[in-house]
Amino acid sequence: MPVNYLPVNREDMECRGWDQVDFALVSGDAYVDHPSFGPAIISRVLEDAGYKVGIIPQPDWKKTEDFQRLGRPRLGFLVSAGNMDSMVNHYSVNKKIREKDSYSPGCKMGLRPDRATIVYCNKIREAYKNVPIIIGGVEASLRRFAHYDYWSDTVRKSILIDSSADLLVYGMAEKQIVEIAAYLNDGLEVKYIRHIPGTCYMADSLEEVSNGYIEIPSFKKTAEDKTKYAEAFKIQYQEQDPVRGKTIVQQHGIKYLVQNKPEMPLSQAELDKVYGLSYLKNAHPMYDRDGGIPALEEVKFSIVSSRGCFGSCAFCSLTFHQGRIVQSRSEESILHEAVGITNLEDFKGYIHDVGGPTANFRQPACLKQLKTGACKEKQCLHPSPCKSLHIDHQEYLGILRKLRKLPKVKKVFVRSGIRYDYIMADKSEHFLKELLEHHVSGQLKVAPEHISPKVLHDMRKPAGKTFEQFREKFFKINERLGKKQFIVPYFMSSHPGSTLEAAVELAEYLRDIHYQPEQVQDFYPTPGTLSTAMFYTGLDPLTMQKVYVPKSKTEKAMQRALLQFREPKKYALVHAALVEADRTDLIGFGPKCLIRPKGKTAYSDQNKEQDSGYNQNKQKNIVKGKLNKEQVNKDLLSKARINKEHKKKITEDSRKSRRTVKNEKMEKERQQRSLGNKKRNLKENQKEKHQGSRTEASGKVTGKVKRMSPGKPSGKVKRKHSF
Ligand code: SF4
């Protein structure tokens, strides 16, 4: 047994001289001892606090034996679905089963159940009566209240009820788990552990809840009334603050779900300690024969430098899980981990990432956040950066500089997302310059997500003009550096608020910047996000304004296709979308048209040569920013004139097309007539011949002639025709 991995079976326990573990941690992911994996952090934190922890990774949930593998734990079971919600892990946005699970050995699917947290807990209850069960991780955290579940298209109860667990730990759980362990170790029954921030429990009555709570609409009301759901979500969202947040209660039948306010973020010293624990930075060797755990490869040479995000993108659940207050590790801690990485056997000189949810957020948005909490009604970056926002990249730059000077390090990349609006708000160019000079591998991925002001508002993303300004700056700096680097922008289709017209607007923007995304991400209504609440209710919970939600398969397909309008395969959908959006002015031959009229060769096939947009060199130039603003404005000003010309052209085209069709029809008829004549002649000739042969053979009909008879085809002939 590799001594330093935590026990996964009885033999491992015996090697350590243990006859019982304090905690058995059941996880939907394979066992990877790396701080990018939640179960690894929790198990090492508890080990550091003096507890004996065993791991039960990906147990067989159809029987109880796997849950009994380590015996009954002294203090309780800890259950997590893994690093992802099990439904997101299993299904694509189209609710189709995914092909791979990168958190399982060799990407094998089917090693965890749907709704893993619930299934595991119920199996543990079957195996051991009255054992304390504490659930945590992303799945439990984001399903802690009554929530909309995209896969069943219903509002589900809190996962705490469905799982029958005793306690739910939400957010990053290090502080909570150590406190819970201490109480259990002191002999306090789990049902009395009710006061720890960052946890949820079930109460029989409101009298059991200490003062200062807010009651939100019940499960029943939220399931029956979408407005109530939006109201409940707004309170959950706004109270998600460790400084000013209040306890929230939500009735579920005869019981009450109680959410204590969020746990305070870890201090820098605490965070350093968590990341400095004795992780082996590897997957358990039992997976070697199956090809290891692919998810590890993405993070093995990466360093988590921060947590939390004040970006508030509506489709991201991070605010709800890690919170708005950014916490960061110290320079020493990051450098120490980096040196450890450079000493790994398979280190090739490249540190793949130094970041967090947002790489360039290294400190809280403002001092007020720490004293009185983050603003309830205001976002730090949306619709534009708050005046109180503390903008500084110096400290992060200092760390990156030191990392790239380390022995054996050839290059340090920054691959976590960066917020370009935060960069643009920085008066100094130093960060962007050094980022482009040293930490980008030729392409910088950024996520403007859309271009329509309405959709960007619903997404809580920066305005399109900020992206334009960033692009300009990006290419200017690259030019100064003499580097050829490109921006890869990510766009999302069918987000709440995105009408077909907005999707056409985005397609036109892509046409103007001559960029075609290789992949398009459809909005995925995952649990716990503001956008998911919009998707379900058709309301923006923060404003209670109505929001358009594209839901039909056809419309979603059309919106997605518009983003890749040059793809010949998408032609029919794009055509249908433009007709539906009353934008047939974009069907034609002019430079502003997205596609050709029907019956003509699809856009990209016919115009690869003359269409500068699809020409690689030009595309690079444009994405590089050589299509200057003046030119874009000029284009926009001439749009009306061009549209008029297009309409004229379309009319001409359709006239031409009608003429052509008419001519073709006439020609076809002529050919059919001539063919008919030929057949008639042939028949008559044959008739004459048959008559001749009957005469010659005294009235006997030959076999050959019989098979040709239309009334009685032989089996052979019939089969031939069937094919
Ligand atoms: S004052 Fe501004 S930066 Fe500070 S929390 Fe409020 S919105 Fe964010």
Query: Where along the chain do its domains lie?
Result: 10-199, 301-434, 442-660
Structure tokens at 533: 């609440």
**Which pLDDT score is estimated for 666?**
57
CA distance 459 to 379: 12
Q: What is the CA radius of gyration of the chain?
A: 32
Domain 301-434 classification at class level: alpha beta
The four Cα atoms 406, 409, 411, 416 give a dihedral, to 10 degrees, of: -80
Q: Ligand 1 pocket, 366 CB below 6 A?
A: yes
End-to-end CA distance of the chain: 62
Which ligand 1 atom sits nearest the alpha carbon of residue 389?
3
> Which of 260-298 are b and which e, b meaning 16 or more Cβ less than 10 Å from the residue's Cβ?
bbbbbbbeeeebbbbbbeebbbbbbebbeeeebbbbbee
CA of 365 from ligand 1 middle (Å) equals 6
Side-chain-side CA neighbours of residue 698 (13 Å): 0
Bridge partners (DSSP) of residue 327 are 307
Q: Which atom of ligand 1 is nearest to the CA of 366?
A: 4
Q: Ligand 1 test: best mutation among 366, 381, 422, most atoms within 8 Å of CB? A: 366
Q: Which residue has the tokens 């056997």?
A: 345
Residue 326 CB less than 6 A away from ligand 1: no
- Phi, psi angles (nearest 5°) of residue 239: -90, 5
With a cut of 50, which residues of the chain have pLDDT below it? 1-3, 602-643, 646-647, 650-651, 653-654, 657-658, 660-661, 684, 687-723
| pLDDT attached to residue 599 | 74
How much is the pLDDT for 363? Answer: 94
**In sequence order, which residues have a C-beta less than 8 Å from that of residue 207 and are 6 or more positions away?**
none
CA distances from 296 to 101, 145, 284, 304 (A): 12, 31, 11, 14
Q: Is 309 annotated as contributing to ligand binding? A: yes
Is 316 annotated to bind a ligand? Reply is yes
| Binding site membership of 380 for ligand 1 (Cβ less than 6 Å) | yes
Ligand 1 close to Cβ of residue 63 (< 6 A) = no
Question: If you take atom 4 of ligand 1, which residue's CA is the nearest one?
Answer: 366
Distance of CA 234 to the CA centre of its chain: 23
Q: Which atom of ligand 1 is nearest to the CA of 368?
A: 4
Q: Strands 53-57 and 443-449, how do they pair?
A: unpaired
Taking the CA of residue 310 as reference, the ligand 1 atom at the shortest distance is 8
Which residue is closest in CA terms to ligand 1's atom 1?
Answer: 388
This prediction's pTM: 0.82
> For ligand 1, atom 7, which residue shows the shortest CA distance?
380
388: Cβ below 6 Å to ligand 1? Answer: yes
φ, ψ dihedrals at 664, nearest 5°: -60, -40
Cα of 368 from ligand 1 centre, angstroms: 7
Tell me, what's the pLDDT at 298?
A: 85
Task: Give the Å distance between the CA of 450 and the centre of ligand 1.
Answer: 24
Cα–Cα distance list, 481 to 57, 402, 620 (Å): 49, 21, 17
81's enclosing H/E stretch is none
Superfamily of domain 10-199: Cobalamin-binding domain (3.40.50.280)
3-state secondary structure of 14: helix
CA distance to 139, 149, 250, 366, 415, per residue, from 536 (Å): 19, 9, 19, 33, 32
375 lines ligand 1 (CB under 6 A): yes
Residue 381 CB less than 6 A away from ligand 1: no
Q: What's the CA gap between 166 and 192, in Å, rounded? A: 10
Q: What are the two backbone dihedrals, phi and then psi, of residue 202, each rounded to the nearest 5 degrees?
A: -105, 135
Ligand 1: residue whose CA is nearest its atom 5: 374
Task: Decide if 301-434 and 442-660 have a common fold.
Answer: yes
In short, whether 391's Cβ falls inside 6 Å of ligand 1 is no
For 543, the token pair is 């404003």
8 Å CB contact between 579 and 629: no
**Backbone dihedral angles phi then psi of residue 424, each to the nearest 5 degrees:** -65, -25
Distance in angstroms (rounded) separating the CA atoms of residues 233 and 631:
45
Using an 8 Å Cβ cutoff, are 400 and 438 in contact? Answer: yes
Tell me the C-alpha distance between 329 and 346, whole Å: 25
Distance CA 70, CA 56 (A): 8
Secondary structure (3-state) at 579? helix
User: For residue 322, what are the contacts with CB-CB under 8 A and spacing of at least 6?
Assistant: 171, 172, 307, 308, 309, 357
Cα-to-centroid distance, 91 and ligand 1 (Å): 37
Contact 236, 220 (CB under 8 A): no
Contact status, residue 596 vs residue 586, Cβ threshold 8 Å = no
What's the pLDDT at 680? 55
Cβ neighbors of 197 (< 8 A, separation 6 or more) are 175, 176, 242, 260, 261, 262, 263, 264
pLDDT confidence of residue 318: 86
What is the CA(512)–ligand 1 centre distance, in A? 35
Burial of 413 (0-12, 13-18, 19+ CB in 10 A): middle
Q: What confidence score (pLDDT) does residue 671 get? A: 62
Which tokens sit at 584? 């047939």
Residue closest via CA to ligand 1's atom 8 equals 380
Name the H helices within 186-317. Answer: 219-224, 226-238, 268-275, 294-299
Q: How confident is the model at residue 102, as a pLDDT?
A: 96
In the chain, the amino acid numbered 361 is F
Distances (CA, A) of 395 to 172, 271, 325, 426, 601: 24, 17, 17, 13, 55
How is residue 201 annotated by DSSP? E
Q: State in Å: Cα 462 to ligand 1 middle.
A: 16
Residues 442-660, CATH architecture? 2-Layer Sandwich (3.30)
With contact defined as beta carbons under 8 Å apart, do 539 and 230 qualify? yes
Nearest Cα neighbor of 281 from 306, 298, 294, 300 is 300
244 lines ligand 1 (CB under 6 A): no
Angle between helix 38-48 and 174-185 (nearest 10): 40
CA distance 366 to 364: 5
The ligand 1 atom at the shortest distance from the C-alpha of residue 365 is 3
According to the annotation, is 200 in a ligand binding site? no
Ligand 1 center to residue 195 CA distance, Å?
A: 29
Supply the DSSP symbol for 564: T
Q: How far is the CA of 378 from the centre of ligand 1 (A)?
A: 7
**Cβ–ligand 1 contact at 369 (below 6 Å):** yes
- Would strands 32-33 and 133-136 be described as parallel, antiparallel, or unpaired? unpaired
Across 462-563, the runs of DSSP E, i.e. the strands, are 486-493, 521-522, 539-540, 545-546
Q: Distance (Å, rounded) from C-alpha 569 to C-alpha 684? A: 49
- The pLDDT value recorded for residue 479 is 96
DSSP code for 200: E
Atom of ligand 1 nearest to the CA of 387: 2
Query: What are φ and ψ of residue 603, in 5° steps?
Result: -40, -60
